[in-house]
């Protein structure tokens, strides 16, 4: 019955600021803006594939949330850090250890890097890896993951 996730919605404290972020900084296509309801809808990926809804609420009603944007291994490994830096978005890894090196979740396996939107929502670029899951390795950097897969 369930084939995937089509939409997710988050609360934001300033709709115009959030529209500028998701449209102008991240490059998402604005699908609909309903000023009277203070909501904006963005297409994720190709039009009609998935959607993000932004609902303006008083700052006290905006709780930080997390969601991930599907990306590719190539983009995350070779372009994500520059992409985020060029947009003045501090990147971090899952361990939040002060570096912006993408990390691999062994149980999936997937590679990911994190950043925040203007309301502090935790956003992620993630890509599934073609390797077999290795839950026992936990979360490791790319070089460690590559070494583990050479010896496997």
Q: What is the second-level CATH architecture of the domain 64-152?
A: Roll (3.10)
Could you tell me the pTM of the whole model? Answer: 0.94
**Domain locations in the chain?**
1-60, 64-152
Instruction: Please give the CATH superfamily to which domain 1-60 belongs.
Output: 2,3-Dihydroxybiphenyl 1,2-Dioxygenase, domain 1 (3.10.180.10)
Q: Render pLDDT for 8-41 as a digit per residue (tens, 0 to 9).
A: 999 999 999 999 999 999 999 999 999 999 999 9
Q: Render pLDDT for 38-91 as a digit per residue (tens, 0 to 9).
A: 999 999 999 999 999 999 999 999 999 999 999 999 999 999 999 999 999 999
Closest CA to 15 of 118, 135, 149: 118
Which residues fall within 8 angstroms of residue 21, CB to CB, at 6 or more apart? 117, 118
Do 64-152 and 1-60 fall under one CATH topology? Answer: yes
């Amino acid at each position: 019955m369930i084939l995937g996730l089509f939409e997710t919605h988050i609360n934001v404290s300033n709709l115009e600021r959030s529209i500028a972020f998701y449209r102008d900084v991240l490059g998402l296509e604005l699908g609909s803006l309903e000023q009277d309801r203070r909501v904006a809808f963005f297409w994720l990926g190709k039009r009609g594939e998935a959607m993000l809804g932004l609902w303006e609420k008083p700052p006290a009603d905006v709780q930080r949330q997390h969601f991930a944007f599907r990306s590719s291994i190539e983009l995350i490994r070779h372009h994500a850090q520059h992409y985020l830096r060029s947009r003045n978005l501090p990147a971090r890894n899952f361990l939040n250890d002060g570096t912006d090196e993408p990390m691999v979740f062994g149980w999936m396996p997937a590679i990911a890097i994190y950043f925040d939107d203007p309301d502090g929502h935790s956003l992620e670029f993630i890509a599934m890896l073609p390797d077999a899951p290795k839950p026992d390795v936990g979360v490791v950097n790319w070089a460690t993951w590559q070494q583990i897969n050479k010896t496997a």
